[in-house]
């Protein structure tokens, strides 16, 4: 399938590479991560906290950016949120639609969302900024700031570190892509510079197959 670049005609090579990789692994990624949330009480607690704060803001649209097969999108919908999902990979979007036919999913990029200014109350970026190089994070946060309402909530989750890893294999496939283990201090600083107030910082130790601690930030759009 040929898909026009969602970042424009000069799409950075790492974006094309990330899309190709996730298109390749989409079906197996969805299968392997099925049930992961049920085994992750901290993840559910943070998502529940986010959902309650969105309701306290009066509800309103929430978008799961880099939604993959929609496992977090589906959970947020079950919590009662008006949520949709956006992902770079058409393969992931197809998998999300198949698994959650009642939720709206579309292809799109974190760096250029097809959403009006100040149109969403909440944004979840669950392990999706991990393929954005640190130098490009300010552009992504500026785009999230643009689409969010004042006081809206942003919840990014990512592997913590401060270094990058090149993968040649993933989810049983030969694929090449880069994963950035962002430094939580750096991400929190960029969010503050980008007009967000970081209100919660959580980090937990690596468990099971994980190689690094996991970081979760909750920020309010100023
Ligand atoms: C590790 S998966 C996480 C998927 C999902 N959030 C979850 O927790 O299962 C990363 C996802 O982010 C998407 N992604 C990576 N870079 C993106 C970008 N620049 N714009 C939109 N989606 C992106 C990938 O296509 C992939 O589906």
List, for residues 157-201, the tens digit of each pLDDT value. Answer: 999 999 999 999 999 999 999 999 999 999 999 999 999 999 999
Residue 70 Cβ < 6 Å to ligand 1: no
Rounded mean pLDDT, 145-152: 98
How far, in Å, from the CA of 193 to the mean position of ligand 1? 24
Rounded mean pLDDT, 120-129: 98
Q: Can you give the pLDDT at residue 51?
A: 98
The rounded distance, in Å, linking the Cα atoms of 166 and 68 is 20
Name which residue sits closest to atom 24 of ligand 1, judged by CA. Answer: 66
Q: Can you give the pLDDT at residue 209?
A: 87
Query: Are 21 and 170 in contact, with CB atoms under 8 Å apart?
Result: yes
Name which residue sits closest to atom 1 of ligand 1, judged by CA. Answer: 127
Residue 129 Cβ < 6 Å to ligand 1: no
Query: Are 216 and 151 in contact, with CB atoms under 8 Å apart?
Result: no
How far, in Å, from the CA of 127 to the mean position of ligand 1? 7
Name which residue sits closest to atom 27 of ligand 1, judged by CA. Answer: 68
Q: Answer yes or no: is pLDDT of 1 > 60.
A: no
Q: Answer yes or no: is pLDDT of 5 > 80.
A: no
Q: Share the mean pLDDT of the chain.
A: 95
Q: Can you give the pLDDT at residue 8?
A: 53
The rounded distance, in Å, linking the Cα atoms of 205 and 24 is 30
Rounded mean pLDDT, 82-102: 98
Q: What percent of the chain has pLDDT over 90?
A: 94
Q: What is the pLDDT of residues 9-53, one digit of tens each?
A: 689 999 999 999 999 999 999 999 999 999 999 999 999 999 999
Residue 24 Cβ < 6 Å to ligand 1: no
The rounded distance, in Å, linking the Cα atoms of 66 and 72 is 10
Name which residue sits closest to atom 14 of ligand 1, judged by CA. Answer: 66
How far, in Å, from the CA of 150 to the mean position of ligand 1? 25
Q: Can you give the pLDDT at residue 10?
A: 81
Q: How many CA atoms lie within 13 A of 125 on its CB side?
A: 28
């Amino acid at each position: 399938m040929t898909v026009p670049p969602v970042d424009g005609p000069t799409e950075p090579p790492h974006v094309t590479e990330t899309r190709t990789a996730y298109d390749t692994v989409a079906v197996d990624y969805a299968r392997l991560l099925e049930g992961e949330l049920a085994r992750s009480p901290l993840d559910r607690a943070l998502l529940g906290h986010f959902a309650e704060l969105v309701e306290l803001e009066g509800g309103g649209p929430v978008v799961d950016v880099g939604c993959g097969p929609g496992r977090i999108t589906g959970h947020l919908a079950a919590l009662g949120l008006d949520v949709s999902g956006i992902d770079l990979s058409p393969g992931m979007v197809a998998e999300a639609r198949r698994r959650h036919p009642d939720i709206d999913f579309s292809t799109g990029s974190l760096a250029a969302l097809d959403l009006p200014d100040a149109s969403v109350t909440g944004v979840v970026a669950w392990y999706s900024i991990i393929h954005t190089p640190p130098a490009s994070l300010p552009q992504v946060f500026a785009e999230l700031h643009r689409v969010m309402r004042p006081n809206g909530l942003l919840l990014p989750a990512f592997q913590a570190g401060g270094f990058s890893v090149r993968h040649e294999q993933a989810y049983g496939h030969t694929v090449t892509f880069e994963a950035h283990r962002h430094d939580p201090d750096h991400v929190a600083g960029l969010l503050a510079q980008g007009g967000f107030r970081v209100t919660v910082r959580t980090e937990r130790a690596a468990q099971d197959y994980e190689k690094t601690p996991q970081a979760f930030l909750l920020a309010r759009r100023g």
